[in-house]
């Protein structure tokens, strides 16, 4: 299967700072990437859909100015958590698809802890 | 929009027994149904998927069945092993919409 690399796997940051998480499709070009947030023992909550070269589409209730998404190329999407607060602490996961309605390949996830 | 329900939320089986996880979906336009396995602290990994033009698909100990009329699909794991212990998610999507995930099933296989 295809490989999606997410970096970093763990990050601890201070309240008020910003954190950037990278998601790369290593061996295929992804027209669409997705960002999810997962709370302990819960399902994946879709935050936004990222399309290369265009603005991300955010799900209802997700703050666009807080969770900045950039999909600058067909192999890279980034999620920046701005002015992080302890309540932003969570497991963030990205996925990538070659085209819609096909296999989604997930990154390893990023455990963010805001102190 | 699509809504996917998944049952049971937890499932405990003895090693060697079979495990079955069931999902229902609401949107008749959905035509792609993947299953993911998520181990603790990791991202989900695709284990098997099925499209609506097929009723059943099998890969070694894992099989998925789809009933389009009833809008439900199931994951079957036979001869379970302790390493099968994980959280399993079903999902559904259509040609024009994103994947919608079920709520997950925590499977524990006891030796």
Phi, psi of A59, deg, nearest 5: -75, 155
Name the average pLDDT for chain B: 95
Using a CB–CB cut-off of 8 Å, the residues of A that contact B are 1, 4, 6, 34, 41-44, 46, 49, 91, 93, 95, 100-109, 111
* Residue A100 pLDDT greater than 80, yes or no: no
User: What residue in B sits closest to A48 (Cα-Cα)?
Assistant: B98
* Residue B96 pLDDT greater than 80, yes or no: no
* Residue A51 pLDDT greater than 70, yes or no: yes
Q: How far apart are alpha carbons B90 and B50 in whole angstroms?
A: 11
**Does residue A98 contact residue A31 with C-beta atoms inside 8 Å?**
yes
Share of chain B above pLDDT 90, in %: 90
Q: How far apart are alpha carbons B73 and B34 in whole angstroms?
A: 10
Cβ-in-10-Å burial (0-12, 13-18, 19+) of A36 comes to buried
> A43 and B101: CB-CB below 8 Å?
yes
CA-closest candidate to residue B19, choices B66, B82, B100: B82
């Amino acid at each position: 299967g295809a490989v999606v690399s997410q970096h970093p796997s763990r990050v601890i940051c201070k309240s008020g700072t910003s954190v950037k998480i990278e998601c790369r499709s290593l061996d295929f070009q992804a027209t669409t990437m997705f960002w999810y947030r997962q709370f302990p023992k819960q399902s994946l909550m879709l935050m936004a859909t990222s399309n290369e070269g265009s603005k991300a589409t955010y799900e209802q209730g997700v703050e666009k100015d807080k969770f900045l998404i950039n999909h600058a190329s067909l192999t890279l999407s980034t999620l920046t958590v701005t002015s992080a607060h302890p309540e932003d602490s969570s497991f963030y996961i990205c996925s990538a698809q070659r085209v819609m309605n096909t296999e989604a390949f997930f990154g390893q996830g990023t455990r963010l802890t805001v102190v | 929009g699509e809504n996917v329900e998944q049952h049971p939320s937890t499932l405990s089986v003895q090693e060697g027994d079979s495990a079955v996880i069931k999902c229902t979906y609401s949107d008749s336009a959905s035509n792609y149904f993947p299953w993911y396995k998520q181990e603790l602290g990791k991202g989900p990994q695709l284990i098997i998927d099925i499209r609506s033009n097929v009723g059943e698909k099998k890969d070694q100990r894992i099989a998925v069945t789809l009933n389009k009329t009833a809008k439900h699909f199931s994951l079957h794991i036979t001869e379970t092993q302790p390493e099968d212990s994980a959280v399993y998610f079903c999902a559904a999507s259509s040609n024009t919409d994103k994947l919608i995930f079920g709520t997950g099933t925590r499977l524990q296989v006891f030796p």
